[in-house]
Amino acid sequence: EIVLTQSPGTLSLSLGERATLSCRASQSVSGRYLAWYQQRPGQAPRLLIYDASSRATGIPDRFSGSGSGTDFTLTISRLEPEDLAVYYCQQYGSSPLTFGGGTKVET
Amino acid sequence: QEQLVQSGSELKKPGASVKVSCQASGYSFITYALHWVRQAPGQGLEWMGWINTNTANPTYGQGFTGRFVFSLDTSDSTAYLQISSLKAEDTAIYYCARRTSLAFDMWGQGTKVTVSS
């Protein structure tokens, strides 16, 4: 099983600042099959990034993903109020599919 | 439009069973697999497994064998999650999610299951 470790657990920033979230895998993620999801309070998760760096439909370009192998990053270039949420990474290249523990972005 | 709509909240006693539904609309139901994800109160996301909507073959993740059953009603474009012999630790929000080449690109709104005496 691939274990995903996200850091930091909580990221405290000001609006307009750049947010950098990390997701480290215990072994190489097959085919760059790494996704990022946003979960706002009381809502279902929403797909932001798939295949490590491709933005899902309707996702603003301030969100970007990068990385390969075991190290992946989600960057929010300028934090907006609606970006305050918990972000999860997920690998979907090998079974069992696994999620990271999440990073909470707050002000 | 494409969407997954889940059944409403459930309050059950320990030892009872619950069946959560996930109805798809706006796309061909049998084209994409459906996955189930659990979120315990204040916790992260946990993958439970998935069901092949074309063959109805289920695959269960570790910790979700025995009491958990995935099933389908393709005539109604609906997937089901049934949990038997409920325990307090089954209290969670259960999500269905569509798996495409774009990972989990669509999620149901979630069904809250509370197990309490």
Instruction: Name the residue of chain B whose CA is nearest to A86's CA.
Output: B44
> Between A90, A95, A102, which is nearest B103 by CB?
A90
| A41 cis-preceded (ω within 30 degrees of 0) | no
pLDDT for B53: 97
- B78: pLDDT strictly greater than 90: yes
Measured CA distances, B99 to B8, B26, B59, B96 (Å): 22, 15, 14, 10
Are residues B50 and B99 in contact, defined by beta-carbon separation less than 8 angstroms? yes
Cβ within 8 Å of residue B105, ≥6 positions away: A47, A50, A56, B98, B99
Q: Which residues of A touch B20 (CB under 8 A)?
A: none
Pairs across A and B, CB distance < 8 A: 57
- B16: pLDDT strictly greater than 90: yes
Instruction: Determine the residue type at A33.
Output: Y
Instruction: Name the residue of chain A whose CA is nearest to B94's CA.
Output: A44
Query: What tens digit of pLDDT does each residue of A26-73 get?
Result: 999 988 899 999 999 999 999 999 999 999 999 999 999 999 999 999
- CB of B31 within 8 Å of a chain A CB? The answer is no
**Hey, how many other C-beta atoms are within 10 angstroms of the C-beta on B82?**
14
pLDDT for A4: 98
What mean pLDDT value characterizes chain A? 97
Best residue of A50, A88, A91 to probe chain B, by most B CBs closer than 10 Å: A50
What mean pLDDT do residues B66-89 have? 97
